[in-house]
Amino acid sequence: MRRIAWIIVLSLMLGPFQANAEPSSETEEIRNFLTELYRARSEFLIRDMPIDTFYFEKVPTSQQALFLEKKRKAYFQAWANKRGIIVHGTEGTLKIFRIRPTDSLVKVSLVHRMKVTYSYAQGSETPIAFGLGTRHVLTLKKENGKLRVLKEWYLDPLDIDSDDAWLHQPSFASEPETDNLKSDTMSKSPQKKRYNREKAVAYANKYAGSAWGAGNDNRYNPKYRDYTGIGGDCTNFVSQVIGDPAEGGGLPMTNAWRYSAGNGSRAWVSTDALKSFLLYSGYGKVIASGTFDQIMRNPSASDIRSKLQPGDLIAYMYNNDVDHFAVVVGKDEQGLPLINCHTTDRYHVPFDLGWENYTHFVLIHIAN
């Protein structure tokens, strides 16, 4: 999958986020700088305000970090405009795990949690919110008594070229693939046990990780291995949501799809393998598959939306390859799905945010 190598590289740089950095007089200035940096960047995402002063003007790595912030802003604002969304505000909080000053350089590891409050221009004026969680590694440098960002890496859910996003493309007139096209591939579920949607959604909300809004002190479930550093944790999380016997949806594990002895089977942790298992076991059934416009802006869209329920899944595909999985936790006032997921942690996020025009969304209904 196209993002795995990048996830692995970043995870190696990030390392395990465990212990908080100890406060000291030496780090107080650094903490204040970081707080102001991320406050300004959160506001910059939705408003015109300068952030250039946090970066070095003639240092390529610093300018690259600044460029990426401008790129994500362009994408986010264009996405919101196309969706008819008014963003009312952004609020961020930091959890700093490591501060290592060395001479004029400072290396930092942290998590940034951001709350985004929004409403629809043509709809209720009551705002709702979603949350993002991102892990960062930064190198800061002090020059002429002022700290600036020398370089930065993080897994950004908004790292999309706005020119490649669906929002700049014309609507497709073609119909999506629907469940009628997929019904001949289904078989009966191997074991009969009712899927508990309410518990599945509660699990997804509790263990949504570093995203704003998540429970469990923003931690993953310690019962399960975190696969973020070895290809991504999105599928492992979705399997937990639908299959955890104590807190999740409680679908019975099988020989092919299981978690035991500290590891998940291939179908438990691999995107394509999970999709195949769900469809051929009868645990899941495809409601529709296609681009955003094909499944959400066509004459059958209302029927598709009514079939998709909280506790169902969405697979994100490029060139017939499943790149990501997320769990549906609700719908907004227009009936569009809201999702939670891992790796780039999301909580109640509009399902298409951060995905390009050519992404195919596979809506999978989990059988009751």
Question: Which residues, at least 6 apart from 179, have a Cβ–Cβ distance to it below 8 Å?
Answer: 285, 286, 287, 288, 307, 365
* Cα separation values, 337 from 63, 83, 102, 295, Å: 36, 13, 46, 12
Nearest to 164 by CA among 70, 79, 42: 79
CB 214 within 8 A of CB 131: yes
How many Cβ atoms from other residues are within 10 Å of residue 254's Cβ?
Answer: 16
> What is the rounded distance in angstroms from the CA atom of residue 109 to the CA atom of residue 258?
33
pLDDT computed for residue 25 by the predictor? 58
* Cα separation values, 220 from 11, 122, 262, 342, 358, Å: 16, 37, 14, 9, 31
Residue 48 C-alpha from the chain's centroid: 25
Identity of residue 144: N
Stretches where the chain sits below pLDDT 70 are 1-26, 160-192
CB 227 within 8 A of CB 233: yes
pLDDT computed for residue 178 by the predictor? 53
Any idea which fold 4-167 has?
Answer: Nuclear Transport Factor 2; Chain: A, (3.10.450)
pLDDT computed for residue 122 by the predictor? 85
Task: Pinpoint the residues of the chain covered by CATH 3.10.450.50.
Answer: 4-167
Identity of residue 122: Q
Q: If you ran DSSP here, which 8-state letter would residue 343 be given? A: T
Lookup: tokens for 198:
């309410």
CB 115 within 8 A of CB 212: yes
Say which residue the tokens 């409403």 belong to.
Answer: 119
pLDDT computed for residue 159 by the predictor? 72
**pTM given for the model:** 0.88
Q: Which helix (H) or strand (E) holds 228?
A: none
pLDDT computed for residue 14 by the predictor? 46
Q: Which helix (H) or strand (E) holds 4?
A: helix 4-14
> What is the rounded distance in angstroms from the CA atom of residue 324 to the CA atom of residue 341?
9
> What is the rounded distance in angstroms from the CA atom of residue 263 to the CA atom of residue 239?
12
